[in-house]
Structure 1
């Protein structure tokens, strides 16, 4: 009896302490997911094409996902327990807390998260098609030397613009096919500002060597030498070498049998001093130059009488240099006015200027293209590109934003119009070969400046307009007092990671009254002297992002002409003084800083158009911080709470990212844009903070609101992506589909809705009624809804249902013509995707995943013209073969197609 009483007492003690244990577990899980977020960020930075995730990291990530799921299920079990039985879960909660604590410790990976991918031997490079028999012969000679074990070093040399780099890019890609002959192919762009340290760093990143940061050059050379010696059959390509490189000081081993060193240079002496087999790339002969020019300018133009002889004389001025030919041809493309052709020839023939370090012929072509821009604003936009480091991949949006801030793009009614104008300027520069279209990431374009073009731009800005550019050069010492000259208009020291301070303390503040742009991002600057900005009254653009400053100097208040203040990712910045005096400010970036309250004086910034305001220490944006009326076009506060009325009153808003606490605030936002044009883009969270996966659309709503009641949700008209997660739909009629009863407007009335993601939604048995499915849906993912039984309910007919008699029964057909991806995961009660005897016609389906849906009894999909070679990918887990045998198939042909695919997926 006493033992039984002891157990009961222990149980009641457990019950009383359970809430505390559960709170401990919740805090631990939040900490664990915070660690996971940090790991995800590191992965994005480290997971390059030649790398793969370490097995231990992959296992840890899987354990985190599994543990999150188990904790969620434990919470559900406890929630379903009675008061009498809740205490029995105390041990389970303690066990999970210990497991989460262990995962937190395991997740503190001190070393890199990735290792070398053994299948990767080098990076494929973008190439251009080359012309001419001479070029072809040159490539064949280089390849012959590479295949010859007796030749260890090859020097490819020739004048600037002749095509050395283009040839070697093609050779590089061809070498990647020689896996049996070479272990690794390494491409390093050296550039004019070469240093042993930079070359060592670039080499280390290519072969996976990690420096701690405190090694000297000799130690680094030894580390590289050791790593490269293990890769006995290597090809190292050093592009754009301007002087002899002491290989032993860098850590590059002398070439042994099977290993090769290739360099490109403008100097034969470099080839000779480095004991290379020299191969000269010669200019194009006259016929080859004319053929290349004709291809680029268009034969239609050359058919105009009297144009062809003028064009041939212009080609002669290009001295057989492919860069010059392409540059001038692009400049004259689609020009059919004979007078313009004659004037172009005169301009080109009269050009007498030259640049130190550049061949006169090349400079003439490049300067010719620059001068023909004619519009001074276009020319200034081009010159601003030289503010970035050499060989820098410049994101188009960032560059256009700089042009807007500098006033080089005229002010328009909307930011979208300004960006459209900026993109048009960029296309003009690209079409004139003054910029190169380097790469794309989704819809985000990146551009680069050819190093010769950048040299020409820097030569122009050495006189007027006057620039001082030492970007990305590894500076440790700041510019001296003479370099801060009074006629400077723009200064860029960006991405000098070891700079740490701007000028010696004994130096008086710089006197640069004409300075309009100062770019200091990524320099690890720790502090800025109080008087630094005392004599820079004309400053318009100040970029201090990615630095280590904790506060700003008082002299920033003097910058009454400042239009852009960029402080993003200054993670130690704890205090931003009043901004009241900066009344010209149009762009303010306070993203990812450490301030605890919104800076004072925001309401005085009547010109402000662009605001990023997010600190992890600020959970809520106070009311009344914006000027009235407001010019704000872009507002990003991320997951900080903001009032719906505050946002609704921003009548010029074009992009918004933020969080509303409840539907009341969300409704105020939505109602405001029912009477005027809604923003071009938004990411809005309604409810609690939390992770919501990757966002794929520019107009996204995330609902994470706890309890939802009938007819409560109103959505913007042009929504593209809807995420509903961690919510419960409260109704006495649980059988009713949630997307019919809880949304004020049927989802079929949202023609732009493409992506729908439902996760961890409670008290829901059905999602859609037949007439409610979004007509243009492209992606549907439903996961972790423990009570869900049907995706499309069966109680009524609706849109796109075609009746046909088959053996006395009516077959309903749901047509989802644009559906590309469908995922159903962890739906233990799911019995059907759509009603019995119905089929889903999905002509565009590319991916289908059905995982852990134990009770699913029927596959309703009908895919017209499914061929064995179809790109459709299918995953069914677990035990797909057993499930396939027990399941009913609406389309036997689909089953026949599917089974071979499943074998490959197992």
Structure 2
């Protein structure tokens, strides 16, 4: 017992003395940090170029940082201890105090902080002066990453000839001046046919490592790793990388503690696979290209009359690639003969090799990018982009559809999977700088080929595979008959607008047995020779869209290998020959044509996957026109009425746009998808045909109430947008809330419904009951409902204020509602924390604004756009939440 009491007494003594010990430790730590501040000041003075910190100084600084952290954690533990347990920390406090005292003594460094650094840390490289603001910005971004300790790997990527090597050479030389930050800068030019053995050998020569003659790859990697690990602050530059480099197999340590890896590549995929901070180097803009060209060719030459306009056209051919600009300018330097300038422009335009150096310096680099695709299908996908006119912005979906039609994209189980695979190919081409991304319209991506890249593709296709391309060249006369050679595989005369006749009517049909693709869209073609397709047995893709043809030759009916027939926008086309023999046909597009009847032989098209029959002159799609079973994945017949049973039997349907005559056919269609997956995208009109689809939602139903009322409607379970309109052809009394009786299931049960648009419900006084409002509604629009009094109506009165929470509502539009008195019932409020736009127009009897700010915090977006008539602001207007009114007043756009 006495022993236990003595132990407790000693513990209490430690606890009482702990405060004194802690005070001692704090004073020591303050003294240590004062010494460190002095060291930092000395470092600034002593750490000059060609000097580095002594190892003992570096270790001392690291120990100071460590002890500061440990003392802070000790303070936190003591602060969390109870009175009984605080004494247990006394020994730790004393130990830290001794360590701090030792560090104070060690921190004198009377013989200095630094030692000489080896003068050589890397090789100075020959450079060329770079031009352009984009180049300057790219260099600044690279340098910023090099100075950022959080960035270990930097990938500079861009198309061949854009100046990646030049800019990184400048970076290399600038790094050699940063001796206080890096110990060594290593430049390795990676050969096109990279091998780990060669890369190891090049690395060893730069850092002074000698391999034994019989050392294997693993041993060499270990030797390099050991040597590079000792160089803690290194920069390794790998120039012209064409594929991912396994750093561990080479022997390069993963960058850490201030070391860096910089690489240049034409492929974004290389940057991604190697986890680099990717920095894209872009081509020069027009003014910068011209300035660079002028400097290289000499202003004296450009002062010769008529040379400058020719020179500017030549510069345009270089597509902003510094390498191309410099090479062409070098070829033309000191040439003062106008005829030679004109010839150079023609040769560049004709893609000939006569201009010295151009083929070798530019085309061959671009050709190598093409060769590295390796996969022949990928290469063919790239080459097919050259079928479009020069500088043409190609819509991604159109291009992928073309690849699918040609069989270049391996077909999957669904159309969506096909397009996903096609987009993956597109990304490969974009990441290898063979295509450029020109996205401008929301999610619709468009791509474009650089002129020089397209020239390179056309150069390849001048031999094998053989293309004949005169797209977008303004042709008015047909090409020479001799150009329709037997070895042709693809022909494009698209976008010539005024061609009218693309092949002489009096000539014998061309013999092109190897031809798989014929693109003639948008060329103003008025007629096609009757036997033109007689010797084209291999034809797969025929695009005649947007031409003035009135009929098609019967020879089309014998194209047994045809997979795609595109006739969209041929507004004069009235007759299509029988399709019975086109059993390989997978896509048929007749939208916007003048045909009045569905083409003969549709029942035989067992391979058909995509059908567009959106033609205003076709009133109704006959029953049983589709083969059984059907492969249809995409169907557009919104211009004509179709039977619900007919569509419901299409088991593979993924995308559907169509019109049903009445609610019965629509309900039959909806019932058909019970127990199986509905189309992932649809636009369905009930009661009207020919309505245009908007891009606002992928699953849309539009109801013409006058045609389907009073029958109840079944809605697909994943509907996203609902449009309800009354065309006013029938008059019916309204004795109940329309949305409580009109639909078989309450709208409140549709969690996917985001957009609701209601108009022209002439006899409707109230729309919703409280439990009928869709919970995830994002947009609500109500207009021209001239008898409407309440949006959300409740029969209950004299109860606690009801709150309607519409957390995702972004836009509410109320227009031309002359009898509207309330948005929701008299004693209710609406909490819409996501509201971005509110419009109240021509609603003169609306006297109450029910909106309320969220209880927790006002989280309405600051950019909230409001359009209210001045009457809404009158003194008699009641606001459910005065704070909401105060929030809105500064933002209002008054309509006088």
Task: Output the CA distance in 2 between the equivalents of 1:437 and 1:902.
Answer: 39
Alignment partner of 1:286 out of 154, 163, 169: 169
Alignment check: 8 A CA contact 2:686 2:702 kept: yes
Partner of 2:130: 134
Partner of 1:822: 812
In the TM superposition, residue 831 of structure 1 has moved relative to its aligned partner by 0.9
When residues 769 and 336 of structure 1 are mapped into structure 2, their CA distance, relative to the original with a 3 A threshold, is closer
1:887 equivalent in alignment to 2:877:
yes
In the TM superposition, residue 695 of structure 1 has moved relative to its aligned partner by 4.8
Alignment check: 8 A CA contact 1:354 1:363 kept: no
Partner of 2:449: 449
Partner of 1:833: 823
Task: Output the CA distance in 1 between the equivalents of 2:186 and 2:460.
Answer: 30
Alignment check: 8 A CA contact 1:485 1:511 kept: yes
In the TM superposition, residue 135 of structure 1 has moved relative to its aligned partner by 2.1
In the TM superposition, residue 326 of structure 1 has moved relative to its aligned partner by 6.3
In the TM superposition, residue 902 of structure 1 has moved relative to its aligned partner by 2.9
Partner of 1:366: 366
In the TM superposition, residue 385 of structure 1 has moved relative to its aligned partner by 0.9
Alignment check: 8 A CA contact 2:686 2:704 kept: yes
When residues 326 and 509 of structure 1 are mapped into structure 2, their CA distance, relative to the original with a 3 A threshold, is farther
Render the CA deviation track for 1:734-761: whole Å, top value 9, x for unaligned. Answer: 4532212111111121111110000001
In the TM superposition, residue 898 of structure 1 has moved relative to its aligned partner by 2.4
Q: Give unmatched runs, 5+ long, in structure 1.
A: 1-130, 141-159, 167-281, 319-324, 338-352, 798-807
In the TM superposition, residue 727 of structure 1 has moved relative to its aligned partner by 5.3
Partner of 1:436: 436
Partner of 1:846: 836
Alignment check: 8 A CA contact 2:824 2:850 kept: yes
Structure 1 residues 336-415: aligned runs within 5 Å: 358-415=358-415
Partner of 2:803: 813
In the TM superposition, residue 711 of structure 1 has moved relative to its aligned partner by 6.4
Task: Output the CA distance in 2 between the equivalents of 1:690 and 1:785.
Answer: 24
Partner of 1:171: none
In the TM superposition, residue 607 of structure 1 has moved relative to its aligned partner by 0.6
In the TM superposition, residue 546 of structure 1 has moved relative to its aligned partner by 0.5
In the TM superposition, residue 896 of structure 1 has moved relative to its aligned partner by 1.9
1:509 equivalent in alignment to 2:536:
no
Counterpart secondary structure, 2:668: helix
Task: Output the CA distance in 1 between the equivalents of 2:881 and 2:871.
Answer: 17
Partner of 2:752: 752
Task: Output the CA distance in 2 between the equivalents of 1:759 and 1:515.
Answer: 53
How many residue pairs get matched?
Answer: 605
In the TM superposition, residue 880 of structure 1 has moved relative to its aligned partner by 3.4
Alignment check: 8 A CA contact 1:516 1:539 kept: yes
Task: Output the CA distance in 2 between the equivalents of 1:316 and 1:444.
Answer: 32
In the TM superposition, residue 454 of structure 1 has moved relative to its aligned partner by 1.1
Task: Output the CA distance in 1 between the equivalents of 2:570 and 2:410.
Answer: 30
In the TM superposition, residue 464 of structure 1 has moved relative to its aligned partner by 1.1
RMSD: 3.7
Task: Output the CA distance in 1 between the equivalents of 2:664 and 2:859.
Answer: 51
Structure 1 residues 168-247: aligned runs within 5 Å: none
Partner of 2:288: none
Task: Output the CA distance in 1 between the equivalents of 2:619 and 2:174.
Answer: 64
When residues 606 and 844 of structure 1 are mapped into structure 2, their CA distance, relative to the original with a 3 A threshold, is same
Task: Output the CA distance in 1 between the equivalents of 2:458 and 2:544.
Answer: 23
Partner of 1:459: 459
Partner of 1:795: 795
Which is further off, 523-532 or 355-364?
Answer: 355-364
Structure 1 residues 486-635: aligned runs within 5 Å: 486-635=486-635
Q: Give unmatched runs, 5+ long, in structure 2.
A: 1-126, 137-158, 176-184, 205-235, 244-262, 276-350
Task: Output the CA distance in 1 between the equivalents of 2:865 and 2:264.
Answer: 44
Alignment check: 8 A CA contact 1:770 1:796 kept: no
Partner of 1:422: 422
Q: After the TM superposition, list the runs of 4 or more consecutive aligned residues in structure 1 that deviate by more than 6 angstroms.
A: 137-140, 289-295, 728-733
Partner of 1:870: 862
Alignment check: 8 A CA contact 1:867 1:897 kept: no
Alignment check: 8 A CA contact 2:436 2:447 kept: yes
In the TM superposition, residue 723 of structure 1 has moved relative to its aligned partner by 0.2
Q: TM-score, normalised by structure 2?
A: 0.63
In the TM superposition, residue 283 of structure 1 has moved relative to its aligned partner by 5.5
Alignment check: 8 A CA contact 1:768 1:791 kept: yes
Which is further off, 459-468 or 497-506?
Answer: 497-506
Task: Output the CA distance in 2 between the equivalents of 1:542 and 1:381.
Answer: 17
Task: Output the CA distance in 2 between the equivalents of 1:507 and 1:290.
Answer: 66
Counterpart secondary structure, 1:580: coil
Render the CA deviation track for 1:565-593: whole Å, top value 9, x for unaligned. Answer: 00000001011111111111000000100
Alignment check: 8 A CA contact 1:501 1:528 kept: yes
Render the CA deviation track for 1:526-577: whole Å, top value 9, x for unaligned. Answer: 0000010010000000000000000001111221100000000000101111
1:700 equivalent in alignment to 2:700:
yes
Render the CA deviation track for 1:629-663: whole Å, top value 9, x for unaligned. Answer: 11111110122111111111111111111110101
Task: Output the CA distance in 2 between the equivalents of 1:409 and 1:514.
Answer: 20
Counterpart secondary structure, 2:771: coil
In the TM superposition, residue 690 of structure 1 has moved relative to its aligned partner by 6.7
In the TM superposition, residue 710 of structure 1 has moved relative to its aligned partner by 5.7
Q: TM-score, normalised by structure 1?
A: 0.62
1:900 equivalent in alignment to 2:896:
no
In the TM superposition, residue 812 of structure 1 has moved relative to its aligned partner by 1.3
Structure 1 residues 260-299: aligned runs within 5 Å: 284=167, 286-288=169-171
Partner of 1:332: 270
When residues 717 and 897 of structure 1 are mapped into structure 2, their CA distance, relative to the original with a 3 A threshold, is same
Partner of 1:767: 767
Counterpart secondary structure, 2:482: coil
Alignment check: 8 A CA contact 2:403 2:422 kept: yes
Partner of 1:197: none
Alignment check: 8 A CA contact 1:633 1:655 kept: yes
Task: Output the CA distance in 2 between the equivalents of 1:717 and 1:683.
Answer: 14
Alignment check: 8 A CA contact 1:710 1:743 kept: no
Task: Output the CA distance in 2 between the equivalents of 1:289 and 1:572.
Answer: 64
